[in-house]
Amino acid sequence: MHLEIITPEKKIFEGEVAVATFPGADGSFQILNNHAPLVSLLKDGVVEYKSKDVAEKIYITGGVVEVLKNKVILLADGVQD
């Protein structure tokens, strides 16, 4: 599936991933290929995404995620190092 992570300042990541985990407002949840359509608020926390070769983690300060037809768009309020 295709994942984009965007903040108001810049695009953080764009590429194909096998799985992504998000800090939902009601708890952490995971998105896999062919997931049902979804829009969810996110709280501060760690976003993890994995491709065939790479596993990455970033810390976001809230945001919104949309899942539709194997495309996942994360609009993050901000990221911290």
Tens of pLDDT, residues 17-47: 999 999 998 999 999 999 999 999 999 999 9
What DSSP string runs through 39-57? Answer: EEEEEEEEEEEE-SS-EEE
Give 4 or 25, the one with higher predicted confidence. 4
Domains and CATH numbers, the chain: 2-80 (2.60.15.10)
Determine the length of the chain: 81
Residue 81: pLDDT above 80?
A: no
- Is the dihedral angle over the CA atoms 23, 5, 78, 56 positive or is it negative? positive
Region of 23 on the Ramachandran plot (φ > 0 left; ψ -120 to 50 alpha; else beta) = beta
For the whole model, what pTM was predicted? 0.92
